[in-house]
Amino acid sequence: MLTNKGKYGLKALVHLAGLPEGETVQSHEIAEANNIPKKFLDAILGELRVGGIVRSKKGKGGGYMLAREASKISIGSAIRVLDGPLAPIACASRTAYQPCDDCKDVAGCAVRLLMLEVRDVSARILDNTSVEEMRRNSQQGSPILMYHI
């Protein structure tokens, strides 16, 4: 499940994607426009900055901007920076695999096998959807099409 941190981070990225190229915005403006607690947003933007997804500029005209074009930032990469692996359970994760204590047959575990499929489908959609697509779809009021599957 997407955490509030992930949800707020995606909202902030969509906000930043709507800025004219080279323009910055301060975190309090993003927080106010998207109903996000400012202190929480500051921490989120910090993580996105460390993850190479946003840049910050200090001084007059300072604020936040995307580190690269919105069309080049995948939703999956942003979620991984903020919320960690996309797998719904640790035994289905590619990057943070941990076996379950109660599992006697990892290879044949019905739950794990289903969660591997869930992870793969989720990753395919999220990794093939850009912040720009998400922004554009929000303007049109339409969901992202399932052609990514």
User: What is the pLDDT, as a whole number, of residue 144?
Assistant: 63
Count: domains in the chain: 1
Instruction: Provide the domain limits for residue 69.
Output: 4-143
- Is 130 a domain residue? yes
Three-state SS sequence of 18-72: CCCCCCCECHHHHHHHHCCCHHHHHHHHHHHHHCCCEEEECCCCCEEEECCCHHH
- Is 14 a domain residue? yes
Closest CA to 112 of 121, 124, 103, 101: 103
Residue 147, pLDDT above cutoff 90: no
pLDDT tens digits for range 60-105: 878 999 999 999 999 999 999 999 999 999 999 988 898 888 988 8
- Is 11 a domain residue? yes
CATH of the domain at 43: 1.10.10.10
Q: How far apart are CA 55 and CA 3, in angstroms?
A: 23
pLDDT tens digits for range 40-62: 999 999 999 999 999 999 888 78
- Is 148 a domain residue? no
User: What is the pLDDT, as a whole number, of residue 145?
Assistant: 58
Q: pLDDT band at residue 115, thresholds of 50, 70 and 90?
A: very high
Average pLDDT over residues 123-141: 91
- Is 37 a domain residue? yes
pTM of the model: 0.89
